[in-house]
Each structure stands twice: as C-alpha cells, then as structure tokens.
Amino acid sequence: GTAQIGVTGLAVMGRNLARNFARNGFTVAVHNRTAARTRELIEGFGTEGSFVPAESAEEFVAALERPRRLIIMVKAGDPTDAVIEEFAPLLEPGDVIIDGGNAHFADTRRRERELREAGIHFVGVGISGGEEGALHGPSIMPGGSRESYASLGPLLEKIAAKAPDGTPCTTHIGPDGAGHFVKMVHNGIEYADMQLIAEAYHLLREVAGYSPAKIAETFRGWNTGRLDSYLIEITAEVLAHTDAATGQPFVDIVADRAEQKGTGRWTVQIALDLGVPVSGIAEAVFARSLSGHAELRAASRDLPGPTPRPLGDEEAARFADQVEQALYASKIVSYTQGFHQIQAGSDAYDWGIDPGAVASIWRAGCIIRAAFLDRIRAAYDTQPELPSLLSDKQFAEEIGAAQDDWRAVVADTARQGVPAPGFAAALAYYDALRARRLPAALTQGQRDFFGAHTYRRTDRDGSFHTLWGGDRSEERTG
Ligand code: NDP
C-alpha cells in the first residue's frame, strides 16, 4: 500500500480529519461502513489531496503502507469494538490502530491490553475542537505506547493546531488510556468554564440589569485581557445575535434546558472514584441537569426569594468589574481541580503525565483554548512538582488581588437570589484549602460515635476510639 494513514468512519469528524491529513500532503486511505459516504468524500473533496478510497475492509488495509496506521472515527462504544473486531484480524504485529472517538478511558485500557497480546499497538486519542478543529487543526491527546507515538507522532504534529509560539498541540500523553483520560478532564473543565461564563452573564443580566447586547460588549472587553479565550469570544457572538423570526435577542428565545453528551459526567464519576474534589465541574454538570427538570422548576417558581434591587449605572459598571474578578478567580480554581484530577489519574494508573505539556497542547485547537493556558504551562514548566496550581506564586497573587471582589459577588448572589453555584463552589474550595482547621475533625468524632470508625490525634501517632456508650475513656486501636 501507499497510504501513510487510513481513516475509517467518515461522518463529520472522520471526513474532516481525512481532509486535514490530505491537505498536509499525506496519502490517506478512506473507508466507511456505508460506502456512499466514502464516495461523497471523494466527489466533494477529492481534489484537496491524495485519497485512496476503499469499499471493503480488506481493500482498506491493503491500501496502507507498513507498519499500518489506521484511525477509527466511529460512534464511541460498541461500534468501536465492532470495527476493531473487523480490522484486527487483517493486521500484523507492529501495526497501529488509533481510536479518535470519545471513548471512555477504561474501554481504551481494555482494548489496548487485548490488542497488545496480538502485537498490535492500540492508541486511544482524545481529539478536541469539533468539526472545524478536525479540519483546520485540533488539539490531539494520544495515549498508547511510546513506540506507537514514534510512528504516529510526526503525522499528528503536522495536522494538529499550532500554539501562538508555533508548538504543535499534540504530545504523547502517556500509556494506554492516558490520552482519553486527559480528553475527559478537558471536557470537564470545558463544562466548568461554560458554567462560570453563564453565571457571569446571568449576574450581569439580573443584578446589573444589562441587555444581552451590552453583555456581549462587556465580554468583548474582557476578551482583550486575561480572560482572552475561545469560549468568551463565542459567548459574545451568541449574546450579540438577534433571532430573525422575532427580532428578539437570540438568547431569550432558546429554551433554557442545557443538554450533555456525558463526558462531563464521566469526569465527575471518575473524580469520585479517585477521591478528587472537582466541585466546580460537578456544579457545572448538576446545573445542566437541574435546568432540564422542567416540572420541578415549574413547581418551585413561586417559592419565596428576594426581589433584586436595581443598580444605578455607576454601581452596575463597578459590579461588572467585580464579576470579571470573580470569574477569573473561579476559573483558576476549576483548572486547579482539573489538573489535580489529571495528576491523580496519572498516579493511579502510572501514566507519568506531564501537566505542563497538557496545558501546552490545550493552547490552540480545542474548545478551552485560552491565553490563560500559557500561564499554566509556565507554572508547571518552572515548578514540575507544583502540588496545586494555587501554590504557584503568580496565581496565588492574582487570586489574592481578586478575592475581595469575588467574595462580594458571591455574597451578592445570595442576597439577590441569583444562583451562581460555580462561583460559590470555587470560593468554598479556596477557603477550605486555606483553612488551618477543618470541621473534618468533628466529622471524625461523629463517625467514631456511631460506628467506632476511630480517629487520629493531632498530638500522638496511632488510631483511637472513645467508648462513647460507656465511660468515655479512650482506647488505642492501632
Ligand atoms: P458519529 O458519532 O455520528 O458516528 C457516525 C459514524 O460511525 C459513521 O461513519 C457510521 O458509519 C459509523 N458507525 C456507527 N456504527 C458503526 C458500526 N457498528 N460499524 C461501523 N461503523 C459504524 O460521528 P462523528 O463524526 O460526529 O464522531 C465520530 C467520533 O468522534 C465519535 O466517537 C465522537 O464522539 C468523536 N468526536 C466527535 C466530536 C464532534 O464534535 N462531533 C469531537 C471529538 C470527538 P455509517 O456511515 O455506515 O453509518
């Protein structure tokens, strides 16, 4: 065969990825279960580069140069297993199967193990950036063996987005499921970022009394500063958009029930398993699910609450500045939590993930791309052993400077009755980490009382139990 890479699964993602490879000078074998899609690709875009269309799996495999590299871009879950079962018998040791779908990292670990026995490299790759990213340069998060990256990396580096300094937005994340794990956390952080921006919008609307157009303008201003990011940019676009049918702001005619495909939920489920407090991401997932409970919301509409007090122009402008501070501080916290989860996953599965490299490849191509990620990369590059992003001196200073406004905003949300669970959870996390003493001591006392679960002491080693039902003397249990 002559094709350096093959793509099977030619729906929007696979088609655009294949075109991206072809536009970068690679010969690309293309295949799809339903052959009509393959023909459409060739008819529509065949002149963009060198494609080798294949109708059958055998034809597809024969079109690839050795060691073969084939990317699966089909619906995640059972379809991915079906496609692997179809192709694996046609491959040879040393060949590389790449799954670019949104797989759960546990599935990737299983598939990698199974194929390793046959000498086939299985590489789970997280791809972010949607269909536009796939075509023009996504952020690519490959797992799998180091050996497979030696063969695959140069191709991925060619088609990946480039950060402002020219670095390709891809790197070997770590073995087996590491790439899909990092993609999952990326999506969790994306949920948190979106929620925080939505809360900022809601507060500017309900408390400052701004129109969607005025909020769009405010966000455009923020986007020239430290909050410079793709999500703030598109939020301004959405807010400035007018519905053609009614002439109303677009945001006012969209049903306020947010949907989800599930990767944010996975992030929280896995965080619970790993014992990592990702409260900001969890609040974002819960906020979406709460919004979807139409009957519950209808039944609660008349519950008592404060009447928001309208702000004067100057007061409103001052409040908007405070919201920017609250948004930035909360964003630092949600990235702190997300990177904690990446480090916990890396420790649990022995992946050796470099957090600075992760921040680096999120700088372009993906949904959470932002100027801010350059700062995270710099923090980890200069201090690889950083226990938390909040321990970075610069972030700590920035949060210190933002905290008065952040606290004022969270207090206002409570007083005015406008929900801001993301801002509030981020602040609670920050204050809990700062606390010299936590009420966890009392929790341990309660657990020892009802369940003899024992506790540790601040002044001596060992575990202890108090005879709560007896004379309340203390015994050492270990
Ligand atoms: P879809 O998830 O809609 O999947 C459609 C493709 O899967 C078609 O090519 C279809 O073939 C194929 N397929 C489905 N079932 C089978 C099966 N049993 N055997 C063989 N082929 C099958 O396509 P997308 O392009 O949206 O996404 C592809 C992957 O990329 C998914 O895993 C998705 O989660 C992931 N992803 C998507 C992003 C996005 O923005 N859309 C972003 C990042 C990742 P046929 O034409 O024959 O029906």
- pLDDT, tens digit (0-9, with 9 covering 90-100), for 135-158: 999 999 999 999 999 999 999 999
Using a 6 Å cutoff on CB, does residue 366 contact ligand 1?
Answer: no
- pLDDT tens digit sequence for 199-225: 999 999 999 999 999 999 999 999 999
Checking if the pLDDT of 308 tops 90, the result is no
- Residue 125 Cα to ligand 1 middle (Å): 14
Q: Which atom of ligand 1 is nearest to the CA of 34?
A: 47
Q: Report the mean per-residue pLDDT for the chain.
A: 97
Using a 6 Å cutoff on CB, does residue 52 contact ligand 1?
Answer: no
| Most informative mutation of 10, 15, 73 for ligand 1 (most atoms within 8 A of CB) | 73
Catalytic choice (58, 147, 190, 233)? 190
Catalytic choice (183, 199, 283, 331)? 183
Using a 6 Å cutoff on CB, does residue 130 contact ligand 1?
Answer: yes
**What is the model's pLDDT at position 309?**
81
Q: Which atom of ligand 1 is nearest to the CA of 103?
A: 32
3 contacts 32 by C-beta, under 8 angstroms: no
Residue 293 tokens read as 């409970």
Work out whether strand 139-142 and strand 121-128 pair parallel, antiparallel, or are unpaired: antiparallel
- The neighbour count for residue 171, using CB atoms within 10 Å, is 21
Nearest CA to ligand 1 atom 30: 101
Amino acid at site 205: R
Instruction: With 0.90 as the threshold, say if the pTM is over it.
Output: yes
- pLDDT tens digit sequence for 24-59: 999 999 999 999 999 999 999 999 999 999 999 999
**What is the model's pLDDT at position 430?**
98
**What is the model's pLDDT at position 307?**
87
Using a 6 Å cutoff on CB, does residue 208 contact ligand 1?
Answer: no
Residue 268 tokens read as 């929280």
- pLDDT tens digit sequence for 281-298: 999 999 999 999 999 999
Using a 6 Å cutoff on CB, does residue 24 contact ligand 1?
Answer: no
| Most informative mutation of 13, 39, 99, 368 for ligand 1 (most atoms within 8 A of CB) | 13
**What is the model's pLDDT at position 448?**
98
Nearest CA to ligand 1 atom 7: 74
Using a 6 Å cutoff on CB, does residue 11 contact ligand 1?
Answer: yes
Q: Which atom of ligand 1 is nearest to the CA of 79?
A: 18
Checking if the pLDDT of 365 tops 90, the result is yes
Q: Please state, in angstroms and as integers, the Cα–Cα distance from residue 126 to each residue in 73, 191, 403, following that order.
A: 11, 16, 35
Using a 6 Å cutoff on CB, does residue 82 contact ligand 1?
Answer: yes
DSSP 8-state secondary structure symbol assigned to residue 148 = H
Residue 130 tokens read as 């949607």
Sheet arrangement for strand 474-476: 455-456, 463-466, 474-476
Distance CA 63, CA 8 (A): 12
Is 75 labeled as catalytic in the residue annotation?
no
The phi and psi torsions of 312 (rounded to 5 degrees) equal -75, 170
Checking if the pLDDT of 310 tops 90, the result is no
43 contacts 73 by C-beta, under 8 angstroms: no
- Residue 37 Cα to ligand 1 middle (Å): 12
Q: What percent of the chain has a predicted confidence (pLDDT) above 90?
A: 98
**What is the model's pLDDT at position 220?**
98
Distance CA 125, CA 101 (A): 7
- pLDDT tens digit sequence for 193-202: 999 999 999 9
Place of tokens 């020239």: 224
ipTM exceeding cut-off 0.90 for this assembly: yes
- pLDDT tens digit sequence for 45-97: 999 999 999 999 999 999 999 999 999 999 999 999 999 999 999 999 999 99
Single out the residue of 195, 349, 324 nearest to residue 258, CA to CA.
Answer: 195
Is 217 labeled as catalytic in the residue annotation?
no
Nearest CA to ligand 1 atom 2: 75
**What is the model's pLDDT at position 262?**
87
